[in-house]
Structure 1
Amino acid sequence: MFGRLLPQEGKFFDLFNAHADQIMLGAQALVALLASLNKADGEAAKHFELIDAAENRADRITHETMALLHKTFITPLDRDEIHKLINCLDDILDLVKNAGQVLTLYDIRRTTPEATHLAEIIVSSCDRVRYAVSLLPSMDNGTAILKTCEEIDRLESDADRVMRGAMSRLFRDEPDVRQLIKLKAIYELLETVTDRCEDAANIIEGIVLENS
């Protein structure tokens, strides 16, 4: 089924991998940010700075990818696929940054097991996205890529379940209306990160099927 060679402009794949690395750095910093809230050690701002730095680097990678796309006559993937994938990767990290901003701007001073669980699922999802991206240069990896995309889909379903449970507990047990509103927004934002990871998986799956 798989194995057709792609025309090689390897720089695109290098840029995809570089961006995926920044996504992982941002996701790991988000987990650390959440953990710092419970420790009250004042480190949350430092962890957000790491997220912000990763997002800025990723923005530059996205701009470089788009510039290269305009200059390259023969691309290894369909131009629309390259455009969609790099922008979807960028969306993932943008949402990670948004989550970090909300946690700091809302002055959240304690987190919940559900928020931590969602952040851990984000890290797993981003790791799987990074792995799938790393396999893209060869369609010999098609079976492994599709399996990885299925794993990302399952993680998104896990995040859905965690968020539903979190919302149920929140509305049942949280007496502080302001805290309820804040946590509701955070849960929804964290879950949306896994949605974007699933979107990336769908794009990658489409690339494999189109080029098989």
Structure 2
Amino acid sequence: MPIIWREDGLDWCECARGDLALDTFREHAPQLVILDILMPGLDGYDVCEEIRTISDVPVVFLTAKSEEDDKLLGYDLGADDYITKPFSPKVLTAKIKALLKRAETTNKAVPSETSDEWVQVEDLTLDLAAREASLDGTPLALSAKEFDLLLHFVRNRNRVLNRDMLLDAVWGYDYEGYIRTVDTHVKRLRQKLGVRAEWIVTLRGTGYRMKVTP
């Protein structure tokens, strides 16, 4: 793989342990992470879960664990793709390039639909210029994607939004394999909203709705 990646202009570093991988991630802030699951120190699931608390960087699992439950757990933890061994190096490289391209596009600040710099809903305030949110004056520690997701919910409050609509609006792409990414981010967003978690209502078989006072 390193030879192929070098030919494609990709740079990389490797870590044999999960705990070292996290240290390296924090130090170098890579644009994409590829994880095996069975690693000493911390397994790939733990590393992915920790990365998702601080970053929306694309994460790909590359592993011999091919059971459906393994894949579902990977997506639940926020993985962008899950590839099982044996695999095609060329296909993996193509997926990496596609994810990097999407990340480059979607990491750009979401343009405001209005000229307003602030959005206020009850005691929730979103500063569009700083891309920060606060609840009753207390800052919310949101990742970039969580902020974009919350902003989209706020701008479409009291409307039914299915998962495909949320993928298109927030992630900028529509691909069935990533559908659980929405659920993972909604779950984290609810946790950070605390007492206001009930605002985001799950509509079984449909999607979500942010139910607040108009």
TM-score by shorter chain over 0.5: no
Bigger RCO of structures 1 and 2 (CA < 8 A, at least 6 apart): 1
Higher helix share: 1
TM-score, normalized by length of structure 1?
0.30
Structure (1 or 2) with the greater strand fraction: 2
